[in-house]
Chains A and B, each alone.
Chain A
């Protein structure tokens, strides 16, 4: 493990808080993915990580690299924009596929039973 470079106090504390918050939110989302029963409940859980977790961690990265250099670094906005626009598309296509496989309209399929 290499050493973390030194930054001023306020950006360091902000970065640390945002990192732990984002990682915790992502863990909660993935834990929900593991614990919910039925596909249509499960598909909601990881969006916690793809929205709030991504925004927190990329903001932490932006603050840290802006403090490390002397100018604002905004590349990470690309990740935020990309992930928040592609996640709904992915889940919409996936849920449509699942509905098709369950035979849309049948009650048993929507409850997640086989």
Chain B
């Protein structure tokens, strides 16, 4: 059973890596600023999922905590970027 699990974790990591590559391309090529922000949002969510699969592979709960922190800081930064696009400044 361990081989099936290891194989599926590797497969999931490859798929998530491809998803991160798609989001990175959108972040680089995005014709306008809001496209880049959506690409960044998708990038950090995919990175968080990748951290969870790393946690399953290594069997430690440390990765889970870093995934939680990535989700939290990513939300705050995306809202700050959207606020900047809306108003021209983050803190009024």
Contacts and interface: CB of A to CB of B under 8 A. Distances in A.
Chain B interface residue number, banded: 35 or more
A65 B64 CA distance: 11
Interface in A54-105: 54, 57-58, 60-61, 64-65, 68, 75-76, 78-79, 82-83, 86, 89-90, 93-94, 96-98, 100-101
Contacts of A34: 22-23, 25-26
B46 A16 contact: no
A4 B15 contact: no
Contacts of A64: 5, 56
A14 to B, nearest CB: 10
Given A15-B56, A82-B71, A31 B22 contact: yes
Contacts of A13: 1, 4
Interface residues of A, number: 58
A12 interface: yes
B71 to A, nearest CB: 6
Interface of B: 1-2, 4-9, 11-13, 15-16, 18-20, 22-23, 25-26, 31-35, 37-39, 41-42, 45-46, 48-49, 52-53, 55-59, 61, 64, 67-68, 71-72, 75, 78-79, 82-83, 85-86
